[in-house]
Structure 1
Amino acid sequence: MSYRSGHHSDHQHHDQNRFPPRRAPQAAVAQAAAAGNGYAIVHAGKQVRFGPVVFWIVVGTIVVLGMWSAATATYFAFRDDVLTRLIARQAEMQYAYEDRIAELRSKVDRTTSRQLLDQEQFDQKLDQIMRRQTALESRATALGAIPDTAATGSIRPQARTGAADQPASGTPKPSPISDTVIFVAPPDREARLESRAPVTAKAQPNQFAKVQGVDNVLDRLQTSLDSVERRQMAALSAVEDGMESRVRRMRGVFTDLGLDMAQLEGATPRSAVGGPFVPVKLPADAGPFERQLYRINTTRAQVDRLNRTLALVPYRKPVIGEVEFTSGFGVRSDPFLGRPAMHTGLDFRAQMGDPVRATANGKVASSGWAGGYGRMVEIDHGNGLSTRYGHLSEISVKVGDIIKIGQVIGAVGSTGRSTGPHLHYETRIDGDAVDPQKFLRAGVRLSAG
């Protein structure tokens, strides 16, 4: 049936095409009719059939195109506003980015400036520390150049074979007679040595310290240098006090002995020295250390001059070892006659052959046998000062010899009016005998302190 129905339909359609109706106009007429499950479009007597799928595709395409056209029209209508907003947004983002860059650059500049400032401050502090350390080193050198002032011509014992003959070491005992005038080294010796030691290693001045705690390190360096400077000033003050005290004691020797210091200085033999006169000047910008060092050098020159003068004063003892008097200066009972008599010197107990030493610089005025003195040596120290050494067993010098302090001039004996081995020692001023203990006590006071 479907076939016939289809044949009949086709036949009818063919007849219609062969004999078109008179009512159809000549203009294009489109007609769409649904026949079964399809669609047909008629135009100018022609008919085109479409399936439902194709039809809806065409319809959908037309709708999409319409929507696209509407969207395009809307875009072109509002394009300027959208572009303006997009450009404004881009500009805002660009400005924000540039502001951020400027802020970061400013931070970098501030950081760099702070680092440069810190580096400059560090270099300045380090340079200050370096200059200060150099100054302290030069001060330590100046302190080391100050000699330990000792009395000129101190009598030193000679080495002997027997250990018992060795002189006792240590500080001289406070006895009436001193072995020699000993000037104890000032207590600043350790401080001077300590100031020479490197306080800290020198840092490189032109390198920026990139570690934390640089300020603490610099503060510790400053504190260490302050400590060294205080020790140096204390050492310098100790030296100055010691020298001033010594000058006072040396001048006190002349006062105690009633000697004319100016006359003795004028008669002091001068060594072969010379050179142009260059006055000592203290710089105008000198600090406390330099001024104190200037005073010390001036005082030291006085000490040297007084030492040369005191080398002519017989305040040392003529024998080495413990001192024991067998007879003092003044009136005594004569050992041979038993009657009161004047003893013009001191009798030192000693062993036969012990060395006898000169107590001051001078020149041999007499050497040989001298009556009750037995073998005797007399030394002229100038300015009316002289010493005599009697009862010698032997004599080691002759008239005219130049004698230095501590030089051996003979040996202990018992020649002349003597009851046994001992040394008869005299000091004379302008030919008159004076108590030698007066000179010896002055020497003890000079060596004290």
Structure 2
Amino acid sequence: MSYRSGHPSAVPQPHAHNQARPAAQRPVRPARPAQRPAADGNSYTIAHAGKQVRIGPVLFWIVVGTIVLLGGWTGVTATYFTFRDDVLTRLIARQAEMQYAYEDRIAELRAKVDRTTSRQLLDQEQFDKKLEQIMRRQSLLESRAGALGALPDVAVTGSIKPARTPSFDSEPAGRPKPSPINDTVIFVAPPDREARLQSRTPPAALERPPTQYAKAQGIETVLTRLQNSLDQVEKQQIAALGAVEESYESRARRMRDVLGNLGLNSRSLEAAAPRGAVGGPFVPVRAPSANASSFDRQLYRISVSRAQVDRLTRVLTLVPYRKPVVGDVELSSGFGVRTDPFLGRPAMHTGLDFRGSTGDPVRATAAGKVVSAGWAGGYGQMVEVDHGNGLSTRYGHLSKIIAKVGQQVGIGQVVGEIGSTGRSTGPHLHYETRIDGDPVDPQKFLRAGVRLAGAG
């Protein structure tokens, strides 16, 4: 028990066990005079078993504070151990919830990345397929252009005209070409693939997904433009091929009509016509299969028509449908009945008279062999050329004979010069056309020549 010193009632009390003793057993102690503690208003005294301990206020409050802290720590510790399982359970549940949330988020991001990667691969595969188709189509058009180039009188159409570098911010001025397309994308054909996409864009730009890159760089637009360009090229090739086929068919048709109208046997003329080829092994022409493209079938028809035109052209080299003189020459007398210039009576004129000047060249109207070259009565100086199959031409009243008997002459070759020899009243050329020795109107052949000129 403590008490403050100097208090009059602060007297130490005996312990209970001492009080419980019987009075007879208590030892008799000598009485001591009562001593009062020194007066100290700030100190505390603790008495126990007759002993007193005096402590200061600082130490007292330290002890009290320590006891309070120990009591609080004891309470907190007891509370912790009491509710520890619940707290741990909540913490574990919260950690598990957070872990599941992170795992779900990671799985979602992974699925998104997988979808993006799959879309990128699909886009790249589609681009590769489109580009491969374009390259194959371009190769096909180039081969068709080579086939068209082998045809005479046809403009080769098989390549895209170069255009200025297109900008994706504005419309291009012309069609792009396959390679290169522009300054950012180049289409090449490496050894391992027929076509692959290469880019001049910096590596930083290539790190973006292909879909964004495709949208930014306009690859899809370039492929579309290239497809349109190839479509235009193919249309031009088809149009050119159709025009060539129509031209050959028209020429062959006109040639056959001319031969028919002239009453000539085309088979006999073909047998006598000069052959362009010299020789070689015989390789039959194979018609295109049923699976062949329309271009190949049309090209085969053109080849057949071209061969027919070539054969008919060789036949027509033996037909005298050209003029024997060049330039605009006046026709002074036609074929048929006329008034004889010497006798003034009706007479048969067996040819055409072309007025000219002495010394003007006279040319063969068809290929053939000179069978006569000299004086021939009323013809004067005359040259006769046999063209085969009963066809022959005569050139009379010449002032000079150039061709010789037995000479092979070609179309347009000079055989003599205009004159006024024989039964003539002035310088002119008397021109005759004969079939099996009978004179026929040369105008019929000349009109056929005009028609054939339209077929050329």
TM-score range, shorter chain: 0.7 to 0.9
Q: Give the root-mean-square deviation of aligned CA atoms.
A: 2.5
Q: 1:448 aligns to what SS in structure 2?
A: helix
1:444 matched residue in structure 2: 450
Q: 2:214 aligns to what SS in structure 1?
A: coil
Gap change, CA 1:340 and 1:90, over 3 Å in 2: same
CA contact (8 A) 2:142 2:158 kept: no
CA contact (8 A) 1:315 1:443 kept: yes
1:105 matched residue in structure 2: 110
1:403 matched residue in structure 2: 409
Q: 1:380 aligns to what SS in structure 2?
A: strand
Task: State whether structure 2 residue 380 is matched by structure 1 residue 374.
Answer: yes
Q: How does 1:319-334 map to 2 (within 5 A)?
A: 319-334=325-340
Task: State whether structure 2 residue 113 is matched by structure 1 residue 136.
Answer: no
Residue of structure 1 aligned with 2:196, choices 199, 206, 210: 206
Task: State whether structure 2 residue 128 is matched by structure 1 residue 123.
Answer: yes
1:283 and 1:436 mapped to 2: Cα distance? 48
1:237 matched residue in structure 2: 242
1:313 and 1:217 mapped to 2: Cα distance? 57
CA contact (8 A) 1:312 1:381 kept: yes
Task: State whether structure 2 residue 270 is matched by structure 1 residue 265.
Answer: yes
1:139 and 1:130 mapped to 2: Cα distance? 14
Gap change, CA 1:239 and 1:351, over 3 Å in 2: same
2:139 and 2:84 mapped to 1: Cα distance? 81
TM-score by length of 1: 0.81
The residue identity in structure 2 corresponding to 1:443 is G
1:34 deviates by 9.1
The residue identity in structure 1 corresponding to 2:320 is P
The residue identity in structure 2 corresponding to 1:421 is P
Q: How does 1:205-354 map to 2 (within 5 A)?
A: 205-207=195-197, 210-212=213-215, 213-271=218-276, 273-281=278-286, 282-354=288-360
1:315 deviates by 0.4
The residue identity in structure 2 corresponding to 1:229 is E
Q: How does 1:348-367 map to 2 (within 5 A)?
A: 348-367=354-373
1:73 and 1:47 mapped to 2: Cα distance? 36
2:289 and 2:413 mapped to 1: Cα distance? 45
1:303 and 1:138 mapped to 2: Cα distance? 25
CA contact (8 A) 2:160 2:233 kept: no
1:271 deviates by 4.7
The residue identity in structure 1 corresponding to 2:197 is Q
Q: 1:207 aligns to what SS in structure 2?
A: strand
Gap change, CA 1:382 and 1:34, over 3 Å in 2: farther
The size of the alignment, in residue pairs, is 385
Q: How does 1:42-57 map to 2 (within 5 A)?
A: 42-57=47-62
Residue of structure 1 aligned with 2:42, choices 37, 46, 50: 37
Residue of structure 1 aligned with 2:81, choices 73, 76, 93: 76
1:76 and 1:275 mapped to 2: Cα distance? 113
Higher relative contact order (CA 8 A, sep 6+): 1
CA contact (8 A) 1:137 1:196 kept: no
1:270 deviates by 3.1
Q: How does 1:162-181 map to 2 (within 5 A)?
A: none
Q: 1:409 aligns to what SS in structure 2?
A: strand
Gap change, CA 1:362 and 1:352, over 3 Å in 2: same
Q: How does 1:80-95 map to 2 (within 5 A)?
A: 80-95=85-100
1:389 matched residue in structure 2: 395
2:178 and 2:128 mapped to 1: Cα distance? 16
Q: 1:37 aligns to what SS in structure 2?
A: coil
TM-score by length of 2: 0.79
Task: State whether structure 2 residue 145 is matched by structure 1 residue 145.
Answer: no
1:385 deviates by 0.3
CA contact (8 A) 1:33 1:40 kept: no
**Deviations 1:139-194, CA, capped at 9 Å, x for gaps:** 1111111113xxxxxxxxxxxxxxxxxxxxxxxxxxxxxxxxxxxxxxx53xx357
1:48 deviates by 2.6
Task: State whether structure 2 residue 438 is matched by structure 1 residue 432.
Answer: yes
1:375 and 1:145 mapped to 2: Cα distance? 47
Shifted more, 197-206 versus 303-312: the winner is: 197-206
Q: 2:196 aligns to what SS in structure 1?
A: coil
Gaps of 5+ in 1: 1-5, 10-20, 25-31, 149-187
2:38 and 2:312 mapped to 1: Cα distance? 154
Gap change, CA 1:445 and 1:78, over 3 Å in 2: same
**Deviations 1:338-383, CA, capped at 9 Å, x for gaps:** 2222111101122222111111110010111212211111100000
Gap change, CA 1:401 and 1:265, over 3 Å in 2: same
Gaps of 5+ in 2: 8-27, 32-36, 163-175, 180-186, 189-194, 199-209
Q: 2:278 aligns to what SS in structure 1?
A: coil
CA contact (8 A) 1:33 1:41 kept: no
Q: 1:278 aligns to what SS in structure 2?
A: coil
Gap change, CA 1:33 and 1:238, over 3 Å in 2: farther
The residue identity in structure 2 corresponding to 1:442 is A
Shifted more, 97-106 versus 272-281: the winner is: 272-281
**Deviations 1:221-246, CA, capped at 9 Å, x for gaps:** 22221121111111111111111111
